[in-house]
């Protein structure tokens, strides 16, 4: 096994003369968790989309477990899965929750029959969904429950890397906390590597080990979460911290766990 689950080197994406992402490099160890943070237009989501294959890099390289990203879409999907900000738009509104998860599992797993059904139930249980919710359509669920469905569907591929693109941004604070706790538990249980894309520094200590801060397509600061948030070196990171609208928030892992 490679030292890194994901290694990004000199990644660049241009649209005409505009560089949305410019010379971005980082690496994440197996089972690790990295937050990519920045305001709208910072290049964080474009970076994520290149990693999962939704955008083609203009330059740079990507390696998974030490090997270049597979050209096979199915194999690439088994390496890495993405959960988006709005689960309702990414789910089939006419499809029951259990069928949605089963469809993804059927594509990525050799299981059939009783073992297949058991795995669908296991995935639902892993994200905190019950049988009644499994029989429901997405419109009958809350935003937090829909996001749980999206996470279960992504996990059906047994990915090595799970990318969360602003996946708690549309949820209220109490539901955010539930989803973050869920993700931390899934990471411990499965060993999946987590890439967490967010504009909100306040959620980062709850879920991530390391942080990378982007501005105008470039990396301005990176390192362990506690070190960067306790003593940010870049003025942009300090501005992001100052903008957190949560009284009493202290940016340390210890305070996040309390």
Beta bridge partners of 21: 13
Predicted confidence (pLDDT) at residue 250 exceeds the cutoff of 60: no
Express each pLDDT in 38-79 by its tens digit.
Answer: 999 999 999 999 999 999 999 999 999 888 866 666 666 678
The DSSP secondary structure of 65-111, one letter per residue, reads TTEEPPS-HHHHHHHEEEE-S-HHHHS-TTS-HHHHHHHHHHHH---
What is the residue range of 91's domain? 72-159
Q: Residue 162: its pLDDT value, please?
A: 96
Residue 39 domain-assigned (yes or no): yes
Tell me, what's the pLDDT at 242?
A: 87
Asked whether residue 53 falls in the same domain as residue 77, the answer is no
Q: Tens of pLDDT along 213-248?
A: 999 999 999 999 999 999 999 999 999 988 886 555
- The pLDDT, as a whole number, for residue 141 is 94
For range 108-130, the mean pLDDT: 95
47 shares its domain with 88? no
Q: How confident is the model at residue 164 (pLDDT cuts 50, 70, 90)?
A: very high
Angle of helix 97-108 relative to helix 113-126, nearest 10 degrees, comes to: 120
28-37, 169-178, 221-230: least confident range = 169-178
pLDDT recorded at residue 256: 43
CB neighbours of residue 68 within 10 Å: 9
Residues 32 and 107 in one domain: no
Which of 135, 159, 183 finishes a domain?
159
pLDDT digits (tens, 9 = 90+) for 174-207: 899 999 999 999 999 999 999 999 998 988 998 9
Q: Which of 7, 8, 65, 5 is nearest to 30 (CA)?
A: 5
Calpha distance 69→46 (Å, rounded): 17
pLDDT 10s digits, 144-161? 999 999 999 999 999 999
CATH of the domain at 91: 3.40.50.300
Specify if 108 maps to a domain.
Answer: yes
Residues whose CB falls within 8 Å of the CB of residue 200, separated by 6 or more in sequence, listed in order: 168, 169, 244
Residue 180 lies in a domain: no
Tell me if 31 sits within 8 A of 193, measured CB to CB: yes
Whether residue 145 sits in one domain with residue 91: yes
149 and 86 in a common domain: yes
The total of other beta-carbon atoms located within 10 Å of residue 223's CB is: 15
pLDDT tier at 139, thresholds 50, 70, 90: very high
pLDDT of residue 186: 95
Tell me which residue has tokens 């429950």.
Answer: 145
Pairwise CA distance, residues 258 & 254, whole Å: 6
Average pLDDT, the chain: 90
- Are 55 and 84 part of one and the same domain? no
Q: Is 28 helix (H, G, I), strand (E, B) or coil?
A: strand
Q: Within this chain, do residues 59 and 138 fall inside the same structural domain, yes or no?
A: no
Please tell me the total count of domains within the chain.
Answer: 2
Name, in order, each residue with C-beta under 8 angstroms of 163's C-beta and a sequence gap of 6 or more.
48, 51, 52, 80, 81, 82, 83, 195, 197
State the pTM of this model: 0.89
Please give the sequence-ordered ranges of beta strands (E in DSSP) within 97-217, or none if there are none.
161-165, 193-198, 210-215
Residue 190: inside a domain, yes or no? no
| Residue 251: predicted pLDDT | 53
Q: Domain check: are 86 and 51 in the same one? A: no
Residue 186 falls inside a structural domain: no
User: Which of 131, 159, 187 marks a domain boundary?
Assistant: 159
What is the band of 85 on the pLDDT scale with cuts at 50, 70, 90?
A: confident
Task: Provide the pLDDT for residue 72.
Answer: 62
């Amino acid at each position: 096994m490679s030292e890194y689950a994901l290694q990004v080197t000199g990644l660049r994406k241009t649209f005409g003369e505009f560089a949305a992402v410019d010379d971005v490099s980082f690496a994440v160890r197996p089972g690790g968790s990295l937050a990519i943070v920045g305001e709208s237009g910072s290049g964080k989501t474009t970076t994520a989309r290149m990693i999962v294959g939704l955008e083609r890099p203009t330059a740079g390289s990507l390696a998974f477990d030490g090997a270049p990203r597979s050209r096979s879409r199915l194999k690439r999907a088994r390496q890495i899965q993405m959960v988006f900000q709005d689960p309702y738009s990414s789910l089939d509104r006419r499809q029951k929750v259990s069928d949605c998860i089963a469809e993804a599992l059927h594509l990525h797993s050799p299981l059939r029959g009783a073992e297949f059904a058991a795995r669908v139930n296991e995935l639902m249980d892993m994200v905190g969904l019950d049988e009644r919710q499994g029989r429901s359509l997405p419109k009958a669920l809350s935003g937090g429950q829909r996001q749980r469905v999206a996470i279960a569907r992504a996990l059906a591929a047994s990915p090595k890397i799970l990318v969360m693109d602003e996946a708690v941004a549309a949820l209220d604070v109490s539901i955010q906390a539930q989803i973050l706790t869920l993700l931390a538990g899934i990471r411990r249980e499965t060993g999946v590597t987590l890439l967490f894309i967010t504009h909100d520094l306040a959620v980062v200590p709850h879920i991530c080990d390391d942080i990378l801060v982007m501005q105008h397509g470039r990396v301005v600061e990176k390192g362990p979460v506690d070190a960067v948030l306790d003593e940010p070196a870049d003025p942009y990171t300090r501005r992001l911290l100052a903008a957190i609208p949560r009284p009493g928030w202290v940016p340390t892992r210890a305070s996040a766990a309390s």
